[in-house]
Copies of this chain bind each other. A is one copy, B any other.
Amino acid sequence: MKAPCPFTGPRPYHHGDLRRALLDAATRILDRDGQGGLSLRAVAREAGVSPAAPYHHFKDKSELMLAIAEEGFDQLSDYIRRTTNMSALPMERVAAIGLAYVEFAKSHPAVYRVMYDCSRDSDAMPDKAHDAEDGAFSLLKRAMIDMGVASPDQETDLELACIAAWCAAHGLAEMVGFKQFDALKAEMGGEKAFLAGVLSHLGMFGQARSRA
């Protein structure tokens, strides 16, 4: 099956890689219309295909969303990896990870929502999320160890510290857009300062303030 398509006349009956096209269409819709605009039919429409076509690649709508979520966690991992300078001080590294996390959530809000909706609803997703985020999670772990939050032999406590950081970042990522903080943000002279201020109160992100 050779790769067909790129705008050469009418799309061939067999698409080539519809699965990929559907996932792209879905994230495009999410970024454009938000979570409310994400319907299987809309995705099929956006990909230029009949409403039943997706069922040959995903058993369910929830399975499509799961695939989106997996890719989202991969991208998040990549983004954090890219923006984390391994030669920086441990504290700055942790702060940078937290900021990168929130920035990602802010730049793809709907995708981020889908990621955590799936993590909550699906039994399979949490493990996948953990796997996919393993890159980012281990970066965090390393930085936490270097920071002296917990020694490597206190594995349980270290894990707890990382989970705490993760929870804090997630909470902040979800709430940073709340309108009721607008006044405070303005008073502080921008969202960046607000973000740094909040992070500075969250134990492990204490160094964030110096980056404002």
Q: A160-B198, A164-B198, A197-B160 are in contact. Are A130 and B180 (CB under 8 A)?
A: yes
Q: Are B201 and A164 in contact (CB under 8 A)?
A: yes
> How would you classify the secondary structure of chain A's contact residues: helix, strand, loop or mixed?
helix
Q: Are A171 and B180 in contact (CB under 8 A)?
A: no
Which single member of B119, B179, B200, B202 contacts A202 (CB below 8 Å)?
B202
**A120, A163, A203, A204: which has the most chain B beta carbons within 10 Å?**
A163
A167 to B98, CA, bound (A): 13
Scan residues 88-133 of chain A and give those whose CB is less than 8 A from a CB of chain B. 116, 119-120, 123, 126-127, 129-130
Kindly list chain B residues whose C-beta atoms are within 8 Å of the C-beta of A86: none
Kindly list chain B residues whose C-beta atoms are within 8 Å of the C-beta of A127: 179-180
Q: In this assembly, does A53 line the interface, its C-beta being within 8 Å of a C-beta of chain B?
A: no
Q: Are B198 and A116 in contact (CB under 8 A)?
A: no
Q: In this assembly, does A170 line the interface, its C-beta being within 8 Å of a C-beta of chain B?
A: yes
CB-nearest residue of chain B to A188: B156
Kindly list chain B residues whose C-beta atoms are within 8 Å of the C-beta of A181: 163
Q: A198-B160, A204-B201 are in contact. Are A172 and B167 (CB under 8 A)?
A: yes
Q: In this assembly, does A159 line the interface, its C-beta being within 8 Å of a C-beta of chain B?
A: yes
* 27 pairs, CB–CB < 8 Å, chain A vs chain B: A116-B174, A119-B178, A120-B177, A123-B179, A126-B178, A126-B179, A126-B180, A127-B179, A127-B180, A130-B180, A149-B201, A156-B184, A156-B197, A159-B184, A160-B194, A160-B198, A160-B200, A160-B201, A163-B175, A163-B181, A165-B201, A166-B171, A167-B168, A171-B172, A174-B174, A201-B204, A202-B202
Pairs A-B, 6 closest by C-beta atoms? A171-B171, A167-B171, A164-B201, A203-B203, A126-B180, A170-B171
